[in-house]
Amino acid sequence: MDSVDLEVIRSAARWVAAGRGATLATVVRTWGSSPRPVGAMLAIRDDGHVVGSVSGGCVEDDLIDKVRGRELAADRPDTITYGVTREQAERFRLPCGGTLELVLEPLTIASRLDALLAVVERHELAARYLDMATGAVRLAPGGGADRVEFDGKVLKTVHGPHWRLLLIGAAQLSRYVAQFAQALDYHVTVCDPREELADEWDVPGVPLNRGYPDDVVQQMDLDGRCAVVALTHDPKLDDAALIEALKSPAFYVGALGSQRNNDGRRRRLAGFDLSAAEIARLRGPVGFKLGGKTPPEIALGILAEMTAVRHGVRVPELAAPEKAESAAGCVTAG
């Protein structure tokens, strides 16, 4: 679940628990150019306070007025479509004639938001089914690629971590990478078998797996929504993870270190059962060269590159600062 949408659910649950009226709006279909994706959510409290966004500000004011005036979703779920006509698109400033359909749901204790949050906070997927005729809600284990399904009678939404990140190494840089990644909707796991680092790992919500890296990669059963980043500088640990990760469908596999170190790593990897195409998938030195030398700056470069790759954006390598050879070595080697 996107961290923004998770905050929408949390806020709505707090309002309901406090006895306030609340309505949840979910984008279920879009046509043309739409500012927010299918699945985006907005919670509207009975006093007009809102959390989240379904259009980037284009339709929110009108939606709030209709909900507070009980024109929509007064007692049971309802739908509304914006931008069907050119006049509507211009009125609500929807870009390029875009259109979006929303489901509006009046929330109560029976909406089961607390139960949903309990599943999500265990880093598990949950499917939530809303009956449009009765407002009844049921939860089931989540799965499948589609996060939102709507046939006019039942709205199914799947909540939980969209992406997974495995970090090899539990040192200082991993802390920043893990924290930044959590804000970007990753369920993060750190793998480090070294006893001297185990007691120092204390990042909330990020478990430390003490297994050996190649075993952990195999156990995680990586898919196309996974990333692996090796950060230890120890070839015995980093290479073990990379050999398995490069054979997997993971969308991003990277390794810390200078260009020279990563060239040597590629030569070592060629001695294992990896094809040239698999070795070519390795992103090393990992991350964009942003010119910074501190762990947070290096972590930012790593997450920036991961974000670009995950969205299919081709970003040219950023120019290194003047006298870059030594500086770039520091940036990539940490």
Predicted pLDDT at 324: 39
Grade residue 257 by pLDDT with cuts at 50, 70 and 90.
very high
The per-residue pLDDT for range 87-102, each reduced to its tens digit, is 655 565 555 456 889 9
Predicted pLDDT at 327: 35
Residues 168 and 302 in one domain: yes
More confident position, 198 or 29: 29
- Tell me which range, 2-11, 195-204, 214-223, 297-306, is most confidently predicted by mean pLDDT: 297-306
The per-residue pLDDT for range 24-56, each reduced to its tens digit, is 999 999 876 666 788 999 999 999 999 998 886
Residue 259 CB-density burial (10 A; 0-12 exposed, 13-18 middle, 19+ buried): middle
Mean pLDDT of 291-317: 89
Residues 138 and 193 in one domain: no
Distance CA 305, CA 288 (A): 6
Residues 96 and 221 in one domain: no
Predicted pLDDT at 288: 93
Q: Which of 159, 184, 207 is the last residue of a domain?
A: 159
Predicted pLDDT at 316: 63
More confident position, 81 or 326: 81
Residues 293 and 197 in one domain: yes
The total number of structural domains that make up the chain: 2
Predicted pLDDT at 100: 86
Mean pLDDT of 249-256: 96
Residues 190 and 145 in one domain: no
Predicted pLDDT at 85: 57
Mean pLDDT of 176-192: 92
pLDDT at 304 over 90: yes
Residues 155 and 167 in one domain: no
More confident position, 120 or 323: 120
Distance CA 291, CA 319 (A): 9
Predicted pLDDT at 167: 98
pLDDT at 276 over 90: yes
Residues 152 and 168 in one domain: no
pLDDT at 258 over 70: yes
Residues 219 and 272 in one domain: yes
Q: Which of 159, 193, 217 is the last residue of a domain?
A: 159
Predicted pLDDT at 144: 56
- Tell me which range, 57-66, 139-148, 208-217, is most confidently predicted by mean pLDDT: 208-217
List the CATH number of the domain containing 274.
3.40.50.720
Q: Which of 141, 159, 177 is the last residue of a domain?
A: 159
Residues 147 and 243 in one domain: no
Residues 47 and 141 in one domain: yes
Predicted pLDDT at 30: 85
Residue with tokens 């499917």: 127
Predicted pLDDT at 330: 40
Least confident of 1-15, 226-240, 244-258, 272-286: 1-15
Residues 74 and 145 in one domain: yes
Domain around 65: 3-159
Residues 266 and 143 in one domain: no
